[in-house]
Structure 1
Amino acid sequence: MPASAQMGGKRGGGGGEAPKGDDKPKVDEKAYKAAIERIPEPKEKYDPWGVVAPAPAAPVAKKK
């Protein structure tokens, strides 16, 4: 017997019912906004390259 893919295809009889598009859970907008507001604001800006490259040193004023 020849091997076949699991997706069914044109020849096989396996497939079953088509998936329905309304299976997604409903999102409660009030709960979502309340959860977003509970996230604290960061005290300093996140620097994704902070670990890779050190922060540049502050320029030193030259004396005359």
Structure 2
Amino acid sequence: MIGCRKATRTRAAAATIMSLLIAPVHAQIGQNGGAYRGPPVVERPKIDEKAYKAALDRIPDPNKKYDPWGVARPTESAKGAK
């Protein structure tokens, strides 16, 4: 009699735990049955190559060469002051 109650409690506890673990999975699957359809396809306008090249031609040429480390190291005048 005691063994039967213990087995029933164990089965009930196992069923409760399994139902608690299955509920979030079921919520993630959603309405479509879990089928992944990929990201949505966005229609983008075609690129106008002539307008792109014209815009690149309108960019003026720089007078000085770009120095990405210019702010990290001292300038020429600061080196001579030492």
TM range (shorter): 0.5 to 0.7
Q: Which has the higher helix share?
A: 2
- Structure 2 gaps of 5+ residues are 1-22
- The structure number with the bigger radius of gyration is 2
2:34 pairs, out of 2, 12, 32, with: 12
TM-score by length of structure 1 reads 0.56
Tell me the alpha carbon deviations over residues 25-46 of structure 1, each in whole angstroms, 9 at most, x when there is no partner.
Answer: 2011111111000001100001
Residues paired across the two proteins, number: 52
Give the SS at the match of 1:23.
coil
Q: Distance in 1 between matches of 2:38 and 2:69?
A: 49
What percent identity do the matched residue pairs reach? 50
Kindly indicate whether structure 1 or structure 2 has the higher relative contact order, using CA contacts under 8 Å at least 6 residues apart: 1
- Matched with 1:2 is 24
CA RMSD, 1 decimal: 3.3
TM-score by length of structure 2 reads 0.46
